[in-house]
Amino acid sequence: MKHIDRAWSTALLALALTFIWMACNEPPTSHGPAQENSIDPALIGMWQGSKVEFTSNEDPTQTVNLIELGASFVMGFDENSTYQTTINLYGQEISETGYIICEGNSFTMQLSSGDIKSGSYEILADTLKVLVEDQTYDFNYDGTPDPATLNTEMVKIQD
């Protein structure tokens, strides 16, 4: 059980960091906030996760959807290009804040840790779809993260 808890902690942290990457004009610098007006205005508001799925890069038939396992996920973006996200799974909550900038349908996020993450997004009506290819997830729970792609869908719950 301890091994599975560690795997979930790793997955949740990876998920939180991934969603931090989701909005976006020029890459942020490591010196602080993104440039003014660098967020896609359609992203501003609160979003609730309806799909948070890791797919193994080595075996694309191997997937894990954290929402189906009982996770909840909420992410918010504001007009100052900042984001906040909270993930809860099995009573374990992880929150993250940072900055985001967008260019076209690509985004770059600067996490509060200083790490930089990138991905792509698409907004269809009130649904936000995000794809981050450079992810990991421990599919076999052996303590070693495996290369993965993260595919998420969120529904807008507040402007």
* 3 has a pLDDT exceeding 90: no
Confidence at residue 156, expressed as pLDDT on a 0 to 100 scale: 98
What is the pLDDT at residue 131? 95
Q: Is the pLDDT of residue 14 over 80?
A: no
> Which residue, among 136, 152, 144, has the nearest Cα to 56 in the 3D structure?
136
- pLDDT of 113: 84
Q: Which CATH architecture has domain 2-158?
A: Beta Barrel (2.40)
**pLDDT 10s digits, 67-77:** 999 999 999 99
pTM: 0.76
How far apart, in Å, do the first and last CA atoms of the chain sit? Answer: 40
User: What pLDDT does 12 receive?
Assistant: 47
Give the confidence band of 28 by pLDDT, cuts at 50, 70, 90: very low
Compute the CA torsion angle 116, 92, 132, 154 (nearest 10 deg). Answer: -120
